[in-house]
Amino acid sequence: MLVRLTMICNGATAATRQGSFPLDEPLEPRSITLAKAMSATLRRADRVWTSPALRARQSAGALSLDASIEPLLADQDHGSWAGKRFDEIQAEHPEGIAAWLTDPDAAPHGGESLADVASRASNLMDGLIAERGHTVAITHASVVRTAILHVLGAPLAACWKIDIEPLSITDFRSDGRRWVLRACGVTAPEPENLRRA
């Protein structure tokens, strides 16, 4: 039995380009254009899921994917840090940022810890391993990172050493017993008209 999971990281927003912890903001126009250009490169899927976040739903729409909302794909809840810049939080609460970056169980912002996100990603993958066919999931960098670590059996502390680009593709395969990481960080070629912009 072949099971395939293709995770696509949502496109960029103005907030993420500024180094802010995300709110439920829309995609920047350039991300919509890139996703539309990328849509022709995607393979047929048996099911398409998206995070509930606006930026993920807009990414799915721009990719021409008719997606169902899957709560397990939601981005990390950053609590009181949502909408604020990383450098601003680091200046005001350096001990909170240090804990968040070093302790996977820490949630100094009052939202979710990295361990909480990892648990959701693991639950999603454990449930999907028995589903024959191809699933496309539009989600967020935090979910993609923790899914990679789940498959590799790597510690959550390694999360911050994985860079997930907006609209990048991470592909997993399973024989119904175990997952393998097939490809990570694949991005579609940028259309010629955007390279000149």
Q: What is the mean pLDDT of residues 128-134?
A: 92
Q: What is the mean pLDDT of residues 123-149?
A: 96
Range in 25-39, 69-83, 178-192 with the lowest mean pLDDT: 178-192
Identify the pLDDT of residue 160. Answer: 93
| Residues contacting residue 90 through CB under 8 Å, at least 6 positions apart | 97
Identify the pLDDT of residue 89. Answer: 95
Count of alpha carbons within 13 Å of 8, Cβ hemisphere only? 33
pTM of structure: 0.93
Identify the pLDDT of residue 191. Answer: 62
Read off φ and ψ for residue 18, nearest 5 degrees.
-90, 0
Given a contact cutoff of 8 angstroms between Cβ atoms, the answer to whether 1 and 176 are in contact is yes
Spell out the domains of the chain, with CATH numbers in brackets.
3-195 (3.40.50.1240)
Q: How far apart are CA 21 and CA 84, in angstroms?
A: 6
pLDDT value at 192 more than 70: no
In this predicted model, what pLDDT tens digit does every residue of 47-103 receive, in sequence order?
A: 999 999 999 999 999 999 999 999 999 999 999 999 999 999 999 999 999 999 999
More confident residue, 73 or 193: 73
Identify the pLDDT of residue 40. Answer: 86
Q: How far apart are CA 145 and CA 115, in angstroms?
A: 12
CA dihedral 166, 59, 48, 78 (to 10 degrees): 60
Identify the pLDDT of residue 186. Answer: 77
Tell me the average pLDDT of the chain.
93
